[in-house]
Copies of this chain bind each other. A is one copy, B any other.
Amino acid sequence: MMQTAADRNIRLDLEYDGTDFSGWARQPGLTTIEGTLEEVLGRILQQPVRLTVAGRTDAGVHARGQVANLWTASDMEPRRLQWSANQLLPDSIAISAVSDVPGDFDARRSARSRTYHYTVLNRSWPSAFQHRFVHFVNGALELDALNDAAARISGRHDFTAFTPTVTEHSRFQREVLYSRWVREGDLLVYRIQADSFLRGMVRALVGTMLEVGRGRRAAADLSRLLDGAPRPQAGETAPPEGLCLQAVEY
């Protein structure tokens, strides 16, 4: 889009329950987060809206701290834009903040890192309240083994083993700044922060670590996989419901 001196750059902070969406990215004939937001914002701003986003989440994945930006010629107050959009959006998408930002802010390119959480409910019975946001695992999971595996993920590695073989990515090195599991009652929460993520990376890492937590794979195997092993040597992709884009760091 052509930008003029009058155009404003607006940052949106978003949260969504991704259960009923075909992911972030607009796709013809499918209900997506991006498509829904662009339609509602376009109606309010009375112009076509294109969003730039920090993390393109997959189908069924959630966000508490997603960030997007858009350019507009509208002079609508940020608070009014937020309120109007939240009125029109479905209950499962909410705009937590709207702010004017400098022209060089780009939700994707300006991001220094992203933090994802993956939540496992580890007990003998499922939760009627949390089922949209947790991966239910009945049976023992060893926290120490999970963290032995998680510690090996920290640092710079080749994550080829943790993204689909057919890929849009051209480089597979990523820098992981934080990688750790914590137990919170019946929940096991994995927190990972990295400069950026390959498609499906967190869920493939979690699926592989869960095999370690169950005693079916050695934690040391992670080190080998992180040296550019092919996808089939890593574990299954964990289901999307446990995954949430928690924050984007600028």
Q: In whole angstroms, how far apart are the Cα atoms of A95 and B126 in the complex?
A: 8
- The 0/1 profile, CB within 8 Å of B marked 1, for residues 89-122 of chain A is 0011111100000000000000000000000000
B17 contacts A91, CB within 8 Å? no
User: Shortest beta-carbon distance, A191 to chain B, in Å?
Assistant: 17
Which residue of A62, A131, A133 has the most chain B CB atoms within 10 A of its CB atom?
A: A131
Which residue of A17, A124, A125, A133 has the most chain B CB atoms within 10 A of its CB atom?
A: A125
A34 contacts chain B at the CB level, 8 A cutoff:
no
Residues of the B chain whose Cβ atoms lie less than 8 Å from the Cβ of A79: 124
Q: Which 7 A-B pairs have the closest CB atoms?
A: A91-B131, A94-B128, A15-B128, A16-B128, A17-B128, A94-B126, A92-B128
- Of residues 2 to 29 in A, which have CB atoms within 8 Å of B's CB atoms? 15-17
Q: Could you pull out 28 A-B pairs where Cβ atoms are within 8 angstroms?
A: A15-B127, A15-B128, A15-B129, A16-B128, A17-B128, A17-B129, A17-B131, A62-B129, A64-B129, A79-B124, A82-B124, A82-B125, A83-B124, A83-B125, A86-B126, A91-B126, A91-B128, A91-B131, A91-B132, A92-B128, A92-B131, A94-B125, A94-B127, A94-B128, A94-B131, A95-B125, A96-B125, A129-B133
Counting every copy of the chain, the complex holds 2
Q: Given A17-B128, A92-B131, output 10 extra A-B contacts at Cβ < 8 Å.
A: A17-B131, A82-B124, A86-B125, A86-B126, A91-B126, A94-B125, A94-B126, A94-B128, A94-B131, A95-B125
User: Which residue of chain B lies nearest to A95 when distances are taken between CB atoms in the complex?
Assistant: B125
Binding site for B on A (CB under 8 A): 15-17, 62, 64, 79, 82-83, 86, 91-96, 124-129, 131-133
Q: In whole angstroms, how far apart are the Cα atoms of A126 and B92 in the complex?
A: 9
Residues of the B chain whose Cβ atoms lie less than 8 Å from the Cβ of A95: 125
User: Which residue of chain B lies nearest to A91 when distances are taken between CB atoms in the complex?
Assistant: B131
Residues of the B chain whose Cβ atoms lie less than 8 Å from the Cβ of A92: 128, 131
User: Shortest beta-carbon distance, A114 to chain B, in Å?
Assistant: 18
Residues of the B chain whose Cβ atoms lie less than 8 Å from the Cβ of A17: 128-129, 131
Q: In whole angstroms, how far apart are the Cα atoms of A16 and B17 in the complex?
A: 19
Residues of the B chain whose Cβ atoms lie less than 8 Å from the Cβ of A62: 129
